[in-house]
Structure 1
Amino acid sequence: MKLTKTALMGILTVVLFSTATACGPTDSETQPTPLPNLEFTTQTEKMTVKVDTLYTGFQNPWGMTWLADGRMLVTERKGEILIFKEDKYTGEKVTGLPAIYASGQAGLLDITTHPNHAQNGWIYISYAKPVGNGGATTIARFKLSGNAIADFEELIVTTPAWNGGTHYGSRIVFDRENYLYFSNGERGSQNNAQDLKNSHGKIHRIHDDGKIPADNPFINTPGAVSSIWTYGNRNPQGLYFDLESNRLWEVEHGPRGGDELNLLEKGKNYGWPVITYGINYNGTPITDITEKEGMEQPVKYWTPSIATCGMTMVTSDRYPAWKGNILVAALAGTHIARVEMNGINASGEEKLFPGIGRVRQVSQSPDGYIYAVMEGPGLLIKLLPAA
Structure 2
Amino acid sequence: MRIRFSCLLFALGTLVSLQACTAKETEPTPDPTSELKFTTSTDKMVIKIDTLYTGFQNPWGMTWISENRMLVTEKKGEILIFKDDKFTGQKVTGLPSVYNNGQAGLLDITVHPNYAQNGWIYIAYAKPVNNGGATTIARFKLNGNAIADFQELIVTTPVWNGGTHYGSRIVFDNQNFLYFSNGERGSQDNAQDLKNSHGKIHRIHDDGRIPTDNPFVNTSGAVPSIWTYGNRNPQGLYFDKANNRLWEVEHGPRGGDELNILEKGKNYGWPVITYGINYNGTPITNITEKEGMEQPVKYWTPSIATCGMTMVTSDKYPAWRGNILVAALAGTHIARVEMNGTRATGEEKLLQGIGRVRQVSQSPDGYIYAVTEGTGLLIKILPGA
Q: Tell me the TM-score normalised to structure 2 length.
A: 0.92
Query: Structure 1: how far apart are the matches of 2:86 and 2:247?
Result: 31
| 1:224-276 deviation digits (Å, cap 9, x = unpaired) | 00000000000000000000000000000000000000000000000000000
- By how many angstroms is 1:6 displaced? 2.2
Query: Structure 1: how far apart are the matches of 2:137 and 2:68?
Result: 24
Please show how residues 50-129 of structure 1 align to structure 2 within 5 Å: 50-68=48-66, 70-129=68-127
Query: Structure 1: how far apart are the matches of 2:247 and 2:187?
Result: 24
Aligned to 1:22: none
Query: Structure 2: how far apart are the matches of 1:209 and 1:48?
Result: 43
Aligned residue among 23, 27, 35 for 2:29 = 35
Partner-residue secondary structure (3-state), 1:102 = coil
Query: Structure 2: how far apart are the matches of 1:143 and 1:70?
Result: 18
Aligned to 2:179: 181
Identify the structure with bigger relative contact order (alpha carbons < 8 Å, sequence gap 6+).
1
1:41–1:284 Cα change, 3 Å: same
Aligned residue among 258, 263, 266 for 2:256 = 258
Does residue 299 of the first structure (1) align with residue 293 of the second (2)? Answer: no
CA contact (8 A) 2:2 2:51 kept: no
- By how many angstroms is 1:33 displaced? 7.0
Aligned to 2:348: 350
Please show how residues 1-387 of structure 1 align to structure 2 within 5 Å: 6-7=3-4, 34-36=28-30, 38-68=36-66, 70-387=68-385
CA contact (8 A) 1:310 1:328 kept: yes
1:167 corresponds to which letter in structure 2? H
CA contact (8 A) 2:166 2:182 kept: yes
Query: Structure 1: how far apart are the matches of 2:2 and 2:251?
Result: 35
CA contact (8 A) 1:369 1:383 kept: yes
1:43 corresponds to which letter in structure 2? S
| 1:121-169 deviation digits (Å, cap 9, x = unpaired) | 0000000000101000000000000000001000000000100110011
Aligned to 2:14: none
CA contact (8 A) 2:157 2:196 kept: yes
1:35 corresponds to which letter in structure 2? T
Query: Structure 2: how far apart are the matches of 1:89 and 1:218?
Result: 44
Aligned to 1:12: none
2:296 corresponds to which letter in structure 1? P
1:33–1:195 Cα change, 3 Å: farther
CA contact (8 A) 1:129 1:136 kept: yes
Q: Tell me the TM-score normalised to structure 1 length.
A: 0.92
1:161 corresponds to which letter in structure 2? V
Give aligned pairs, total.
361
CA contact (8 A) 2:2 2:53 kept: no
- By how many angstroms is 1:356 displaced? 1.2
Query: Structure 1: how far apart are the matches of 2:302 and 2:250?
Result: 14
- By how many angstroms is 1:45 displaced? 1.2
1:38–1:158 Cα change, 3 Å: farther
